[in-house]
Structures are given as C-alpha cells and as structure tokens.
Amino acid sequence: MTTSAAFRVLGPVAVGSGSRGAVLAPGKPAVLLAMLLLDAGAAVSRSTLQRALWDDEPPSAAKQALHTSMMRLRRTLEAHDVPGRTVETVPGGYRMTVPQECLDLARFRGAVATAAAQGSAELELRQLELALDLWEGTPLANVPSVMVQRDLLPGLLDERLRVAERVWELKLAQGMARDALPALWDAARRYPAHEHVAELLIEALHRTGRQAEALVEFHRIRRHLDDELGIDPGAALQRLELAILRGDQPGGVRPERHRVEAGRVRAERWPLVGRADAIRFMCERLAEYPASPIVLTGPFGIGKTALARHVAELMAARYTGGTTFVEMRDRSGAVRRGDALQDLLVGPSAAGRRLVVLDDVADVDQAHEAVSMVSGDDGVVLTSRTSLAGFLAREGGWLHRLGPLPEDETSTLLSTALGPDRAASPDRHHLGRIAELCGRVPLALRIAAARILTQPTQTLADAYDRLAEDPLGRLSLPGDPTMSVLRRFGDAVAHLTEPLAAGLSRLADAGPAVLSLDDCAVLLGVPSRTAERYLDELVDACLVEPVPPRSYTLSDLVRLCARDSARAVRDTAPTSKG
C-alpha cells in the first residue's frame, strides 16, 4: 500500500505537508513511525519495534502493547489525512511503503546517488547542496527511544556528514574555501576527533591565507587525539601541516611572499627547506602568546634569518599592523644602537599589532634597547648567534636553538639547488658525502651548490674531491665576502675575549670528538670550575655543543675554522731572531 502524503525524518518526525503538516509529539507513535520510515518499503519485525519502544525492558504483554501502540499511530496518521491502512500488517511485523518523492530521507539518498553523474563538479555540488537542504534541525529529535538514539541516529548523522564532506571538497576544489569555512568550523567542533573534517578546515584556512589559524587547528586536533586516544594525526594531516610549514599552497604552488617594509632586509632567494619542528614551535607560540618574544639562536650559517622570515610570512594574518624586519648591524658589521636603531623601529603608527623581527642581535643590551622601542602589543622575534639568556630572564619569552639539517632535508636542499638533472646524475650518492663535509649547515650547503652550478661539466665525484682537499677554501664564493664559512666564523668569534678565543683553539686541536669537563680543564689549563664557566660562554655563543651529562663537542666546521684561524695567527706572529 502506498500513500502520497509527505513524511519527514531529517528533522523532528513529521507527517503531512503545507498548513496541515505537523510534528508528532514525543511518544510511542513517533517512535513507531520513525522505525517504519527509516526502513520504508521493508517489513520491520515485531521484536525490532519492541526494542525501539522499550529497549531491553519490554512489558509482560509486549505483543499486545505493540498492537495498541500501532493503533494509536494509525489514528494519528488519519488525523493528518493519511489512511490508517498505510501501515500494513505483514507476517512477523509491519511495513510502510512510501513513494520516494514523499519521504525526505528517500529524496536525500536519491539525490546523493545521482549527483556524481551530473556531468560536472559544479552540477554535482549544486545537487548535493539541495540534498542537504532537506535536513531541518536535529533528526529524530522527538523520538524518545534509547535504541533509535543510540543505534540508528549516529548512522543517519554520519550519512549526512559524508555528503557534507564531499560538498566541502568540491568547494575547495572550485576556489570557494571562504564559503565553506563557517560550516567547517561548526563540524570541527561537533566532531573534534574527525581527522578528515579537521583536514578540510585546515586546508580551507590555508587557502584563504590564514596559515596561523590553520596551524593552531592542527595543534588542536593533534592534542585531542593524543589526550583522548593516544595516537598521532594520520598521514594526510601530517602532509598538510608540512605543506603549510613549508609555505606551499595546495597543489604545490608557493604563495606570494608577504610584503614587508621596504629596505628592512634583502629578499630571500632560496626557498626554505625543512625545519618543520622549528616552524611549528614558533607558529604555535606566536599564535597562543602573540606578544611574547621568541629568541631564535644557533651557529653561524644555520639559517636563522630565513626561518624567521618564513615564519613571519606564515603569521602575517595574525599581525594586521604588518611585519617589520630590522637588521641589527649595518653593512660594515657595526652594531646599531640609539638613534640608528630607533629610526628603523619607530615609524608611522600602523593599525593593529605588528610582528617585529630583530635580525642578528649582537648582545643582551641591544636586545633590551630594541624591545623597549617596540609596542608591548607587538610580537617580537629575535635572531642571534647567542642565546640572549639575560634578555629572556628579564623579559620572558621563548628560546629555540637550531642545529644542522637532518639528512633527508639536506638532500632536499641540495636537490632543489642543483636542479633535477644534476640531482639525478649517476654519481648522486656523492651529494651525501658533500653534505657531511658541509656539516649539514645551510650556508655551507648553498655555497657548495653554487660552486657545482658554476662548473656544469664537473662531476659530483670531482666536486666532492675538490671540497675534501680544501674545505674552507671551497666554502667561500669569490666576489661575495659574506658567502664564506670562514668569514662568518670570524664574525662569530670577534666578540670573544682573548682567553675564550684561545680556549676554543685548544679545544679544536684536541683529538676526541667528545671531551669531558675534566678533559677540557686540562686543555684550557684552568681549574674545572673556571673551565665550566668558559664552556658555558662558548655554548651560549653556539660555538660549542653540550653533551649530557657534563661533556662537550665542536662541530666539524667550527673545528676546521678554529684550527685555520689559530694557524693564521701563528703564521703572522713575529718571530724572535737569535
């Protein structure tokens, strides 16, 4: 038996249409009608209907009680001009046959089933949106059944969510990310552990230039999954996070660089490679504590400036007043202080909070002076070859120390710099050996890559051999004194006192790669307590690396540079004549 009346389950259960349509009152008729409509056209067994009415506690005369409740449903239907015989009694249960056009759930499923065959993504999107429009409020909200709410409603909601996910995917693909955001925000809060919803929200934020919020959202679901389930985000979410951290746009296209104030810093020509952990650390801190300073420290040539600039671009949406880059030394290397510094930091007032990057801070005093010239609401990132511990002790904030690139990121940097042909050459295994000679330090790697590019007929094996013969000579570029590992080392040690500089040379001459505190004291010729103070200063200057619990080591590049510098001093020292 069929009927032409309209029924609704994608909202409160209702019967009838137009002015005579009505939402059923919560009760047994609403439960039975929902059960029959959710499985329209099929027989629903008496035992299933009894569980829907009474769950696991049916009355002693459950069969008679079910019959009575079904009579009440038929009377309710007749009150809305639906013949009571629409509910058929069949062997073992009851059945309700409703044409597709008369049941919102059937119309929804029919539209979804044929959407993909519409011939274009635009038409598919339009049909799926019309299908979702059939949903009105919370489905089955007036059905007081433990079984329906526990066992059937979640599947119905999941059905809707899958369609909504497809709608959001289509909108992102068609450049409608901004339009998808409100619904994605709502879904991400309703389903806090749903990774695909989070992925779509993060991608929509990324596509609309809101990278900082995208990273905060990734941090939210990562924390939720860890706290609630003890698991990490899946591969798709992790790939998306890495793309955002690298500055990639969906599809692999790099976004336009965030415009910074003119004259503050040279444009960065090299794309940033890797550093996902450091980028994540800085972005999360700037998002959660936008006015707390971050000190980014590490050895010479390690990539502090490039990383600070990259993070500033990612966080641009958070700082509506713009981004200001300030080189803390002039072209001659002199430290900027007083009026010279104020001229760069204090300009026309901008609307909104700024992000100020103080690049290559010389010492704690300069850090304090510069930050005192910045509004308390502005974010500040300081890069320095020292840890600026005294500054952090007084001002608060965060510290992140960069080290050499991991092997995979080193390979990526060299492959990117050399191009696909050179990177795929038969002797490409020498790239790893070249990287080790460079200490996996970005500056040295880029100099080595530039050397290789200027000699296109040279094999990678020959390039490695020449670099191995004269590492420091080959890790400098003619015509540009700043592109020299030895020159950068000289800048790093220029502020050291004579005892510290001499001590560094002695440590560099030592044989073992790792030296205990006692070994260092012997080499330095001072008591252990004095040696520890010296070593603390060298660690602070990122020239010596601590090895727990109380040992120390020098990187290969620092050791080479320190030995070369000491040799140059000896060679130029005056000799006495007998």
Q: Give the phi and the psi of residue 105 in degrees, each rounded to 5.
A: -65, -40
- What the block records as the tokens of 218 is 């990734």
- Mean pLDDT on 176-189: 92
Residues 126 and 31 in one domain: yes
CATH number at residue 243: 1.25.40.10
> pLDDT value at position 19?
46
Is the pLDDT at 569 greater than 80? The verdict is no
Distance CA 478, CA 483 (A): 8
Contact 528, 519 (CB under 8 A): no
Instruction: Residue 510: name the closest of 558, 573, 462 by CA.
Output: 558
User: What confidence tens digit (pLDDT) does each residue in 205-224 have?
Assistant: 888 888 888 888 888 898 88
How many other CB atoms are found less than 10 A from the CB of residue 509? 12
Q: Which of 361, 357, 358 is nearest to 385 (CA)?
A: 361
How many residues in total does the chain contain?
578
15 with 147, same domain?
yes
Look at residue 288 and tell me if it is in a domain.
yes
What pLDDT does residue 79 have? 86
CA–CA gap between residue 341 and residue 357 (Å, rounded): 13
Kindly report whether the peptide bond that precedes residue 549 is cis, defined as omega within 30 degrees of 0: yes
Residue with tokens 């939402």: 23
Pairwise CA distance, residues 342 & 324, whole Å:
13
- Final residue of a domain: which of 150, 168, 186? 168
CATH number of the domain at 378, please.
Answer: 3.40.50.300
Which one of 369, 401, 433 terminates a domain? 401
**β 22-23/514-516 pair status:** unpaired
Q: Are 96 and 37 in contact (CB under 8 A)?
A: yes
Confidence of residue 536 (pLDDT cuts 50, 70, 90): very high
Are both 558 and 438 inside the same structural domain?
no
Q: How would residue 17 be classed by pLDDT, with cut points 50, 70 and 90?
A: low
| Residues 103 and 120 reside in one and the same domain | yes
| One domain, residues 326 and 226 | no
- 102 within 8 A of 5, measured Cβ to Cβ: yes
Does residue 10 surpass a pLDDT of 60?
yes
The answer to whether residues 289 and 346 belong to one domain is yes
The answer on pLDDT for 263 being more than 50 is no
Range 488-513 average pLDDT: 87
> How many angstroms separate the CA atoms of 204 and 279, rounded?
20
In 3-state terms the chain splits into helix, strand, coil percentages (rounded to 5) of: 55, 10, 35
Q: Among the listed ranges 153-162, 450-459, 546-555, which one has the minimum average pLDDT value?
A: 450-459
User: Using the 8-state DSSP alphabet, how is residue 253 labeled?
Assistant: P
Residue whose token pair is 């060298």: 538
How many domains, the chain? 5
Residues 184, 147 share a domain: no
Does one domain contain both 518 and 478?
no
Domain boundary among 223, 255, 287: 255
Tell whether the model's pLDDT for residue 350 goes beyond 60: no
Q: CATH number of the domain that 60 lies in?
A: 1.10.10.10
Q: Are strands 545-547 and 323-327 parallel, antiparallel or unpaired?
A: unpaired
Q: Is residue 491 part of a domain?
A: no
Domain that holds residue 59: 1-168
Of the two residues 42 and 345, the one the predictor is more confident about is 42
Amino acid identity of residue 237, one-letter, is L
The CA distance from 462 to 206, in Å, is: 44
Residues 359 and 470 occupy one common structural domain: no
DSSP, collapsed to helix, strand or coil, labels residue 145 as: coil
**pLDDT at site 481:** 80
pLDDT band at 323 (very low <50, low <70, confident <90, very high): confident
pTM: 0.61
Q: Identify whether 214 is part of a domain.
A: yes
| Of residues 379, 423, 412, the one with CA closest to residue 248 | 412
If asked whether residues 39 and 7 sit together in one domain, one would say yes
Residue 416 lies in a domain: yes
| Local confidence band at 4 (pLDDT 50, 70, 90 cut-offs) | low
Tell me, yes or no, whether 60 lies in a domain.
yes
Tell me: pLDDT of 256 over 50.
Answer: no
329 class by beta-carbon count within 10 Å (0-12 exposed, 13-18 middle, 19+ buried)? middle
Q: What gap in Å lies between CA 97 and CA 90, rounded to an integer?
A: 12
Q: From its phi and psi, is residue 136 left (phi > 0), alpha (psi between -120 and 50) or beta?
A: beta
The pLDDT tens digits of the residues spanning 137-155 come to 889 999 999 999 999 999 9
Banded model confidence at residue 269, pLDDT cuts 50, 70, 90? very low
185 CB-near residues (< 8 Å, 6+ apart): 201
pLDDT tens, residue by residue, 399-425: 999 999 988 888 888 887 887 777 777
Residue closest to 371 by CA, chosen among 319, 293, 304, 306: 293
Which pLDDT tens digit goes with each residue over 45-61?
Answer: 999 999 999 988 888 88
Residue 61 included in any domain: yes
- Are 443 and 477 within one domain? yes
231 lies in some domain: yes
Q: Do residue 35 and residue 63 come from a single domain?
A: yes
If you average pLDDT over every residue of the chain, what do you get? 85
Interatomic CA distance for residues 531 and 521, integer angstroms: 5
In a domain, 265, yes or no: no
pLDDT of residue 430: 86
